Structures are given as structure tokens and as C-alpha cells.
Chain A
Amino acid sequence: MPRINLILLLVVVLCALSTVTSNHSARKLFTELEREQNRMRQLEVEWGQLQLEQSTWAAHARVAKIARDRLGMKAPASGQVVAVEAGK
């Protein structure tokens, strides 16, 4: 009888310890998740800033100016345009 009690006590202690460790690891994982989510938000912010930068570089006024002044491009005269029907 005392022996089985001792075994049960041991089992209880082991269970208690494993609860503690699993809870601890759960919290550690959660902190990690939290950190990754923060990173995700930061990346989203960065993406937004990059989009902003992209649209600033690609502003029509800027593109038109560079095409005209630096590259010497111009719109083709209407006689130079050939219309092609799609799918034929």
C-alpha cells in the first residue's frame, strides 16, 4: 500500500512539472509569434513606404520630363501609327 502511494506521488510530481514546462514553452512560443507579427507589421509599413517611393519615382510628370529632355523621345505623329487588330 505505501509503495503504490509513493508511485502515485511521483506521477503527480512529474505531471505537475510537465505542466510547468509546457506552459513555459507555450509562453516562449507565444512571445516568438508576437515578435514575428511585429516584424510582419513593420514589413507592411516598409512595403507601403516603398510603394510611396516607387510612385514618386514613377510620377508621370517625372517620366515625361526624362523621356522628353534626356532621352529625346516624342509621341509619334498620327501618320506613323499602325493599328493592329487583336487576334488576327
Chain B
Amino acid sequence: MIIPIRCFTCGKVVADKWEEFSNRVKNGEAPKKVLDELGVSRYCCRRMFISHVDIIDDILKYSEATTKKSQEV
């Protein structure tokens, strides 16, 4: 859905680093390099980034469509 605020295992805040991570990886940087530079050193926190699927943008499309529809009616 949306990036969890903290790492499930250790409790380090990861959410504030997500936007930078996702932008840089989209621009072709290696995830390893980005994570190292963001100071995410433990593998519990690293998997939070690697395995996350940010699906909230897709869900927002549907809610936009439904609000538009209800306004038309």
C-alpha cells in the first residue's frame, strides 16, 4: 500500500527515505548504492525498501474515478 513508517524488525524509521530511494532507483541507480548512501545498513531495514510495492498511487486512481462519477450524478 504505502511504505511502512518503521522497519518491522528493528523499528528504524524508513518512511522518510522512501521517496529518495524510489526516485533514484527509477533513474537507474543501483538499489545497493542508494541504500548504502541513505545509511540503511541492516538487512531487516533494507528488505523494507527492496520488497515494498507502492500500490497507493494505483488505488488513488480508482478513488479519483469514483469521486468524479458521484459528482456527475
Co-assembled chains A and B: no
